[in-house]
Structure 1
Amino acid sequence: MPDRINEAGGHWAIIVHGGAHEVPPEKASASRAGCLAAQQAGRKVLEGGGSAVEAVEAALRLLEDDPTFNAGFGSAPNSVGEVEMDSGLMDGRTLDVGAVAGLRGVRHPASVARALLRETPVMLIGDAARQFAREQGAELCEVEALISPAQREAYEEHDTVGCVALDAQGNLAAGTSTGGLSGQRPGRVGDSPLPGCGFYADNELGAVALTGEGESIARMMVAARILHLLARPSPEATSPDGALQEALQTMQQRVGGEAGAIVITPDGQVGWWHNSPNMPVAYQTSRMAQAGVFLSKTEEQDVQ
């Protein structure tokens, strides 16, 4: 595809996902549209010379506003009918991390995680996370306002969202946001806000965001495994897709579980893989004329 140079003059890349799960036919169009809208929001930041951190936050906020996805509005109620959300964001340039867990009554957990990036604590939980959100001027709401009509009626299953970006200055960032599992035990926290498990970004290694069965991902520290494979590739993991595939296969063999991941390397290669039926994604680089939008890796391979 023809190159397209952004205003800052450097190479940029961005990829978002809408969760590793089975997408029913009636949700396919909404899943594609939601991922594309989020990717476009992040792309605009990057095209204007903005940072990878800003692009990731912008994309995640779009996904948090879309009830198609399990993050922000559309989060999954737990076993007592309440919403507890997790989010994490990492700056690959500074290795700063901001994460929140068990957050209640906040419209955009990703923005709270970003506000925590430059603070001393890596993670805040529960009431302390909400108090921090209030201090930062985050948009607060009633807990019930985050449960979409579809979730209220059917406890629909959909998954964590995530974004990875590379900006024109060569900096990477990764972020996640989730409303948890439908009917989960109150206080349960999965991989999403745990650096090295659900996400990680390092300008020297790459940036990655995970989605899927959080306990399996956390037990295997899959984000860290992926970046180690990128740094020291095995014969089977010589590409970003290969590294993701090897890490997810190892996880499935050792502890089981469905999952998916997105990654960008320091030189701007984009990769994604999943062992679930679907994983909606949208991605674009400054060298692509238009975004790629797919519901599964098989669909992308068929097009190519």
Structure 2
Amino acid sequence: MNAMSDWSLVIHGGAGSIERHRLTEEQDSGARAGLTLALGVGSAILRDGGDALDAVEAAVRVLEEDTHFNAGRGAAFSSDGSIELDAAIMDGRTRAAGSVAGITATRSPVGLARRVMEASPHVLLSGDGAERFAREQGLATAEPGWFETTERRRQLDEMLARNVDAFDVDMKYGTVGAVARDRAGHLAAATSTGGVTGKRWGRIGDSPLIGAGTHADDRSSAVSCTGSGEFFIRIGVGHEIAARIRMLGEGPQIAADAVMAEVRALGGTGGVIVTGPHGEAIWSFTTPGMYRARATAAGVREVAVYGDE
């Protein structure tokens, strides 16, 4: 996938213990349908000459509305039964970025992250302050019940029944994200998540942290991550991939594989999606599967779930 392409889009819906025997037929087909829809929405923007930034936001918004994924509606429950959402977006042209953490009422966390980037002097807003900003900006809200699904509640109840201090160590219900290169050669990345099932104390993972779970720089790459957030934070995965490409001259696939090997060596698991200045559209993951899809101007169109696809 390293051939030159004048636009490219890669999306993910999380990496983890995603195996054929673990997913029902409905879960498999539903996830593929969601990825296909998000890929189509983002690709249409790029095909028509639109911005990478608009494409990644639009693709992630689709996945936030889809209950098959752990972002927005269908997000994972914290240990206390609440839902706290995180998101980020970054523009590779200027390295402008916006992110939010601990969101509970804004319907599209990635939409709020973009507004933070464009309409505030800050990069990262959290909790009540972020929600106040969202209201001032007139963004759509939703009652807490709108984000909840019975399947995610069951997952929390099952986990707590085994161990009151448990959390989703297998990272089965992952983050969503998108990276793109547009026809003007600009890159962008966006990520959105409900975190991990059973998280406590207002835990924040890598997704809203610029340079860790989300990163874009026209000089090197656009990256969105999913997996064991604590390890991605410690390594600074998004920036590390970019640095290898820019400083060492590595291709996106080689850089991504090297950094994911580093994550694994520390004890973490997960995956990344990456695009580069030449329209490369790649992924790298160390888990049994990753919900993923990609499309390019060169005619590539692929949707996959399991590691052997």
The residue type equivalent to 2:59 in the other structure is: A
Aligned counterpart in structure 1 of residue 270 of structure 2, from 259, 275, 279: 259
Q: Which residue of 1 aligns with 2:281?
A: 270
Say which SS state the counterpart of residue 153 (structure 1) adopts: helix
Q: Is residue 45 from structure 1 mapped to residue 40 from structure 2 by the alignment? A: no
Q: Which residue of 2 aligns with 1:75?
A: 75
Q: Which residue of 2 aligns with 1:241?
A: 253
- How do 1:114-263 and structure 2 match up within 5 A? 114-118=114-118, 119-155=120-156, 157-233=172-248, 238-253=250-265, 255-263=266-274
> Which runs of 5 or more structure 1 residues have no equivalent in the other structure?
4-9, 300-304
Q: Is the 8 A contact 1:78 1:186 kept in 2?
A: no
State, as a whole percentage, how many aligned pairs show the same letter: 40
RMSD (Å) for aligned C-alpha atoms: 1.7
- How do 1:7-22 and structure 2 match up within 5 A? 11-22=6-17
**Alpha-carbon offset, residue 159 of structure 1:** 0.6
Q: Which residue of 2 aligns with 1:25?
A: 23
The residue type equivalent to 1:147 in the other structure is: E
Task: Give the TM-score taking structure 1 as reference length.
Answer: 0.90
Count of aligned pairs: 287
CA pair 228-296 structure 1, distance change in 2 beyond 3 A: farther
Q: Deviations over 1:111-135 (max 9, x none)?
A: 0001111231001000011111111
Task: Give the TM-score taking structure 2 as reference length.
Answer: 0.89
Q: Is the 8 A contact 1:178 1:192 kept in 2?
A: yes
Q: Which residue of 2 aligns with 1:291?
A: 301
- Partners of 1:185 and 1:52 in 2: CA distance: 35
Q: Deviations over 1:165-184 (max 9, x none)?
A: 11111111001000111111
The residue type equivalent to 2:252 in the other structure is: P
- Partners of 2:285 and 2:255 in 1: CA distance: 12
Q: Deviations over 1:43-84 (max 9, x none)?
A: 111112211111011000000000000000001110110011
Say which SS state the counterpart of residue 154 (structure 1) adopts: helix
Say which SS state the counterpart of residue 43 (structure 2) adopts: helix
Q: Which residue of 2 aligns with 1:6?
A: none
